[in-house]
Every structure is written in structure tokens, then in C-alpha cells.
Structure 1
Amino acid sequence: MSNKTEIFSKKMCDILNYGALNLAMGIGYESGLFEALSGMGAPACCADIAAEAGVSERYLREWLGVMVCGEIVEVRVDKQGQELFELPGEYVSFLCRSGGNSNLGVYTQEIPLLTDCAREGVLEGMQSGAGISYERYPKFYSFMEQLADAKHRDVLVQTFLPSVMDGEMVRRLEEGISVCDIGCAEGVALEVMAQAFPNSQFTGTDISEESLNNARKRVAELGLNNLSFQLQDAAGDKVEPQQFDYITAFDSIHDQTRPFEALRNIHKMLRSGGVFSMIDIKAGSSVSENIEHPMGSFLYTVSLMHCMPVGLMGGGTGLGMMWGREKAVSMCYDAGFSRVEVNDIPEDGFNSHYLCFK
């Protein structure tokens, strides 16, 4: 066996083990098992952990086997020969909800969810080139909205907006401007901004009537009078020009079937001197540029299973999540923006902030 063959053989074993480990970790995260382990306070037997988590002891024992072999959970045997399990304290912030922005455990649910939603569709698309409709992804969208909502509530007003134009955007929002969020889903980002900046007017657009109805109901309950919603395709032919001073798009442009038309419409909707914040995945535009990306394989897989196929629907572009900095900047300039800045986002290692000026 050559050295290269031996190395690849080991890599294949690692792939199989880590793929299985991701699946089991996703199940553990959703079932609250990491939270239960972190709350034990000391090494504990399987029965006690099962009681704490409210799960089957037999299922838990098998799951713990995965975690121990994957070096996520530690095990030792006490004097009575009983196995005791412990989640190292150093791992808690990466695996539990209490970890905030450090929490990567939540993402272990993503690939299993996409597999449930789209595996057959991707296999069919490999042969036909056809896209996959949004309707195939209800569980995935629910999961992603929960993630985005939590993030917006934690960092949007406190961290992100103060970083836009060195605080200038916060000053404008405090004085009162007109703001639109493209692909707003159930409108949590807008809700947070509308509450923080009562002098500004906010509008959300999306193609899902169900999401917008949920948003309208929640906004009515909150009594927010400076926030409304419109059913609108971002790339549609009928948009009113020069409506807004500031437009945002949080990870929504790369999913558009006609992303260039969406960007062109955003430019059209902005008033002169207006600003567009496009938050999108931090990556290069070619595969070779992303070889060293720490999450490259994961992000390309998410794109393969969701972003690219939904973008192919109806003869769409199929841009994909990994369209990258060079293509994003070029498309923004082609859409009419006079200046495009690419900035890192505080406390966000996944995304870049494309700040575009009209």
C-alpha cells in the first residue's frame, strides 16, 4: 500500500466517523442531551443523565457510545465498575444554547434536516438539472428562521448596526429614515429595528404570504405602527423607484432565482445617497480560493442541498451560497451601485457585509 493510499484510507474512515458523529450530535442537540450533560455538575451514570434529560436510558446509552468514541464526551469507571459520563467544561459553550455566538452545536442539525428535505430532489436534479421548490423545505426553513431570529435579537441593534458606516447609520435611524428588508421572512430583524428606532419607517418584503401573515399578526400584538409588510418578488418587474434610504438583505440574495435583477431593483428602490447592506457568506468565487476555508465542505454541501437548487427553479440562475466576494462585488457594480465596500461583521465569522452606495 502506497503512502497516499494509506492516507486516503484513513481519511475515508474519518469521513465515515465524522459524518455519523454529526448526525448523532444533531439528534443530541435537538433532544437537549448536551444541556443535560452540562447540568450534571459531575460525572454521572447513564440512568441519571437519562432522568435529567427525560429520555430513554437505552437510547441514551447508544448515543453516549457515539459521543465517547467521537471524543465529545469522556467516560470513566468508578470503583463499583459503573461507567460515568461527563461533558468537558471547555466544550459547553460550543455545544449548548448558553454559548451564544460560540455555539456551533446548533449547526449539527443542518445537514440532517437538508437530507430529510432534499436528498431525493438533489439526486433527481443531478440527472435532469432541474431545481427544487421552496415547498420541499418546511422543516429547514423553520430551523433557519429560529437561528436568524435569535441572532437578530442578540446582535442586530447592539453590534451590527453600530458597525455600519462607523455608527453613521445608527444616527440616521435615530433621526428617522425609510428602511426595507428584502426576504424578511417573519420580520424579526425589522421588529427589532422598529422597536429600537421609532422615528424611522420600516417595510418588509417576501414571497411567502404565510410568513408575512405571521409577521403582521405579531407586529399588531406588539402595537408597532412604524412597520408594514408587502408580498413582493425582489426580482419582480414592478417596483416603485426611490422609496427607501436604507435596504438590508440578510443571506437572501444568493437564494434568488434572478439575483442580478433583485440587485438592480434594490438599486432602483433606493433614493439618491441611499445605502444597501447585503449580508452574505464569506467566501471566494472559485473552488480553488476556498480550499482553505475552515467550513468550505459544510457550506458547499448546504448550497448543493438547498441554495443552488432553489435558485434554479423556473429557469433561474442557481447562484448558490458560495458565489463569493468577487462575483458579489461585480454584480453589485453592474446593478448600478457607485461604491461597494466589503467588511467583516463583528462576532460573525460566517458572513461578510457588502456595503453598497447609490
Structure 2
Amino acid sequence: MVSGKIIERNAEGDKFWIAEENLASLTGNEPAAGLVYNRLLPMFSQHYKQAIKMAKETTDEKMPEEKHIEQSHGHEHGHQHGHGHGHHHGGHGDNHAEAYPLMELLSKTTYKKHLIPDFLPLLGLREKLENGGMEVLDVGCGTGFHICEFAREFPKCSFTGIDISENAIKRANEVAKEMNLNNVKFEVISGEKMPDEWTKKYNWVFSWNSIHDHKHPKVAINEISRVVAADGRYTMLEINKPGNPNDYGTSPMSTFWAVAGIFTVLTVRRAPEVFKWTNAAAIEMLKESGFSNVQTVKTPFFDFNVLFVCTK
């Protein structure tokens, strides 16, 4: 807690105290993110033996075909692994429903403070959202934290969240009800296969730490390009991975999630594409899908993320 700047100590190390502004980190409904990250360790470690088994079974970078399960963070990835990352992505596997309360909490502690005042201005959409009438889609919405915050801020617009997990969508509906929102709805739909009638429907599509965790990220991006209106916008917040696939970024959290992926991506989702994800690969997929203008925007308040703002 000293390293995490929650409590302070004197030079001798025999006296400790906490500043009044940090009390909420320990006693509030949204504790310090570092405390939540530590609570993820038991969840990841339960897959230790399975991770070893998978490593022994895997040859030539090919994964076994049986029992494919897709899952998102949300960052919570619901997305929720989020890197919930999470934040938290294509959808959390329902066999990990017990992780949702924790991933939802992690997303709030990591993103809520900056979501509207700092992140929203980077999108260039506030005026249009305030005017109303926009159709907005969250791909890999997890338990719905992010989209519900936007729906509350812009009551004149219509919001839809999709995730592959029934458990995540059930919780997302609860969140919307708790916030008394009537302009947001949720559906159990994969980001890799959205309804045909959604072609060019949405003025704004966004994803939150979710695309890199899809089993087939390129397929998901192609689908997103299809459902974005001709004059619409896609904003993709993702893990910041500059350089080659072996570069896990510059922040401690980037390293944390890289290691966590061994226990979740391989053993649960069996989707090794996440380990090939880089900023350059993301830009290439976005442009190949039809987004001619892709801007990379830094998010210093989310130190292990990068934002891609995309238009056609």
C-alpha cells in the first residue's frame, strides 16, 4: 500500500498514516485499483495446472480445436479483463461468471474518474451526442459500465451493448436499471457476427479493451466496419503495445495483463491471436476493413491504453 501511494510512512518505517483524500481507497465503494488487481490473482492461479497442460499440448503455434470458448474483459475487458482490462471482449465465457463483480469494480476504479471529463473530449463527438438522435454501439460491453455512463451523460441518444456472455448481459441490464436508464439496451451477440440488418446503422461504435481478446480480431473489426454508418466513427480503446509482439508495453499493468493472459487466454479462450496484437497490427486491420482515416491518440490518464479514432 505504500508503493501504491495509498498510505505513507516515515523514513524509519515504524510509523504509518493515511491522508484523508486516500481514505476512500480503503473504505469506499470503489477502492484503489491496485487492491482490486491483487484480488484477481486467485482467479488466475486456479488455471495454473491447465496452463501447463495446454503448453505441453501446443505445438507449432496451433491450439487444440476442442472446447473453444470465447470471452471478453471488460476489461470490464466486460471487457472486461479487463484489462477490464476490462476491463474487460468478444464476451466473457459464462464459466467465469464469478469474475464479473470484480471486473466491473476494476473498470470503475480504473476508468470512471476520467471517462467523461478526460476521455470523452478525445473522441470529437460531444456536440453530436448532446444534439441527440445518434445510434451508439458498444462491442464487447461486458457488464455495461462504460456504455451506461455514456447513456446517462447523453439521454437524447440510443445506446446498445453486445457481449457473448449471457451472465454479463444479465448484469448489464441490472446496471442500467440501477441507474434508471431507458435509452440503453443489451443483447447477447458476438462482435464477430452481428445482425445483417445492422449494416451502416450506427453513428458511433466503440470498444473498450475488447477487440484484442476476440478469437478472431480481424473478423470483429470487419464486422464493426460494416455496421458503422458512412459518416460514422469507431473509437477503439486498446492495450498499448508498440513494437513487436514481445514488447508488453511500458506500464506495470501491461506486464500484469501479459502474464495473466497465459492463464486466461490460453486455458479458457484458447485464442492465441492476443499474443500477436500490436498497435501496428491494429492499424493495419482497421485500414484493411475500410477505415481510411485512423488516428492514434495517447491516453495518459489510462497509462496502459491507446485510443484509435477511425473514420471512413
How does the TM-score come out when normalised to structure 2? 0.76
Partner of 2:108: 149
Residue 210 of structure 1 is aligned with which of 122, 144, 167? 167
CA contact (8 A) 2:36 2:105 kept: no
1:169 is aligned to 2:125: yes
Q: Distance in 1 between matches of 2:100 and 2:308?
A: 24
Partner of 1:319: 273
Residue 110 of structure 1 aligns to a residue whose secondary structure is helix
1:265 is aligned to 2:223: yes
Partner of 1:248: 206
Shift of residue 136 of structure 1?
Answer: 4.8
- What one-letter code is carried by the residue in structure 1 that aligns with 2:241? A
CA contact (8 A) 2:192 2:216 kept: yes
Cα distance change on mapping 1:103 and 1:94 into 2, 3 Å: farther
Cα distance change on mapping 1:341 and 1:74 into 2, 3 Å: same
CA contact (8 A) 1:95 1:103 kept: no
Larger-Rg structure? 1
1:191 is aligned to 2:191: no
- What one-letter code is carried by the residue in structure 2 that aligns with 1:115? S
1:74 is aligned to 2:4: no
Question: How many pairs were matched up?
Answer: 276
CA contact (8 A) 1:254 1:323 kept: yes
Shift of residue 299 of structure 1?
Answer: 3.0
Aligned CA-pair RMSD = 3.5
Gaps of 5+ in 2: 59-63, 70-92
- What one-letter code is carried by the residue in structure 2 that aligns with 1:74? G
Q: Where in structure 2 are the equivalents of 1:9-24 lying within 5 Å?
A: none
Shift of residue 319 of structure 1?
Answer: 1.8
Shift of residue 334 of structure 1?
Answer: 1.6
How does the TM-score come out when normalised to structure 1? 0.67
Shift of residue 194 of structure 1?
Answer: 1.1
1:178 is aligned to 2:138: no
Shift of residue 339 of structure 1?
Answer: 1.4
Shift of residue 223 of structure 1?
Answer: 3.6
Shift of residue 163 of structure 1?
Answer: 2.0
- What one-letter code is carried by the residue in structure 1 that aligns with 2:185? S
1:349 is aligned to 2:307: no
Cα distance change on mapping 1:355 and 1:42 into 2, 3 Å: closer
1:302 is aligned to 2:260: yes
CA contact (8 A) 2:202 2:232 kept: yes
Q: Bigger CA drift: 256-265 or 219-228? A: 219-228
CA contact (8 A) 1:282 1:350 kept: yes
Partner of 1:46: none
Shift of residue 97 of structure 1?
Answer: 4.6
Cα distance change on mapping 1:287 and 1:294 into 2, 3 Å: farther
Q: Distance in 2 between matches of 1:152 and 1:291?
A: 19
Gaps of 5+ in 1: 1-24, 44-70, 76-85
Shift of residue 251 of structure 1?
Answer: 0.6
Cα distance change on mapping 1:205 and 1:42 into 2, 3 Å: closer
Greater helix share, 1 or 2?
Answer: 1
Partner of 1:60: none
